[in-house]
Amino acid sequence: MASPDRILVIKHSALGDFVLATASFQAIRRAHPDAHIVLLTTKPYVSLGEASGLFDAVWTDPRASLKRPGALFGLIGRVRQGLFDRVYDLQRSQRTRLYFTLLRLTLLGRRPPEWVGPAPGASHRTTGHTDRRHIAEREASQLRAVGIEVGAPDLSFLDSDLQPFDLPARIALLVPGGAPHRPAKRWPAINFAELGRYLAGQGITPVLIGTQAEAREIAQIREACPAARDLHGRTSFADLAALGRRAEVTVGNDTGPMHVIAAAGGACVVLFSHESDPERISPRGPWVAIRRKPSLQDLPVEEVIAALPQATTGEHKPGQTFS
């Protein structure tokens, strides 16, 4: 087949995975500068896909199962009518394998689009999507199989005016949240408060970032660290990127906003427990330091403070793990 004119890119995933995939999105656009490219993603990431400027259209995937056949086959019909020449399956999941199968079954004799992904029967079947490499490296390998080289993600398209927040000159971001169903991924709020007091003593105002789901933890931190500023529930993706660039450092758990801030160029110290493996899923960016303990209850504030100069002076490599 000649260079594809119509391309579908599939990426659902969580915020961190989506941010890491930005490098792949940009590589695909560089490889196909004149193609009509559509992103299929989930509702939380539609605005990010649109803001990137890389796609001619962004479609919302209802993530319907066979228990909702109307919605599922409605999506397959829409993909079929899109007349795509190639599909890049960057989600690499059982769901997207189902899409591949249903699309082939419903084409009624028409030639299926090229499919770049792990689905059995794909025209460009890739392997290694479940190995121990970092997800960014696995995705780069997937695209390299079709001659596309992936670079570092560029989040310069995410920016905002921070004046409405009325922040002081020197700030550090604290990100105490994480997946609600995985509390072991969270460093204790009292430790964030102690870190905040240390930063305040250095003349740096701690700024708390999170969603309404972290309201309780953030209230605990503010009670123990009155100098902290509270922006929870007030920041967009663009705000996170701009704040990360402005901050002297960001310290947070293994959670999506840390990926945004790291990829945007902010200096980050990311805290990991046994719940997730930084070798596979850590944020990527120019200044990322990792602190890891089997239980974050056992990670003392002093160890995190010791990482701050490393994160801000560049005396480490992205993804470096400190024991």
Task: Tell me if residue 176 falls in helix, strand or coil.
Answer: coil
pLDDT digits (tens, 9 = 90+) for 261-307: 999 999 999 999 999 999 999 999 999 999 999 999 999 999 999 99
pLDDT for res 83: 95
pLDDT digits (tens, 9 = 90+) for 157-177: 999 999 999 999 999 999 999
Task: Tell me if residue 172 falls in helix, strand or coil.
Answer: strand
pLDDT for res 179: 83
* Backbone dihedral angles phi then psi of residue 251, each to the nearest 5 degrees: -120, 125
pLDDT for res 13: 81
Q: What CATH number belongs to 6-144?
A: 3.40.50.2000
Do 222 and 145 touch, CB atoms closer than 8 A?
A: no
**Range(s) of the chain covered by CATH 3.40.50.2000:** 6-144, 163-322
What span, in angstroms and rounded, lies between the C-alpha atoms of 283 and 92? Answer: 20
Do 323 and 291 touch, CB atoms closer than 8 A?
A: no
* Backbone dihedral angles phi then psi of residue 74, each to the nearest 5 degrees: -65, -40
Burial class (CB in 10 A: 0-12, 13-18, 19+), 197: middle
pLDDT for res 309: 65
**Average pLDDT of span 204-219:** 96
163-322 CATH fold? Rossmann fold (3.40.50)
pLDDT for res 75: 97
Whose CA is closest to 254, among 158, 172, 319? 319
Statement: residue 314 has pLDDT above 90: no
Confidence band (pLDDT; 50, 70, 90) for 311?
Answer: very low
* Backbone dihedral angles phi then psi of residue 112, each to the nearest 5 degrees: -75, 160
Residue 180, number of CB atoms within 10 A of its CB: 10
Whose CA is closest to 180, among 109, 237, 102, 253? 253
Statement: residue 321 has pLDDT above 70: no
Statement: residue 319 has pLDDT above 50: no
Statement: residue 74 has pLDDT above 70: yes
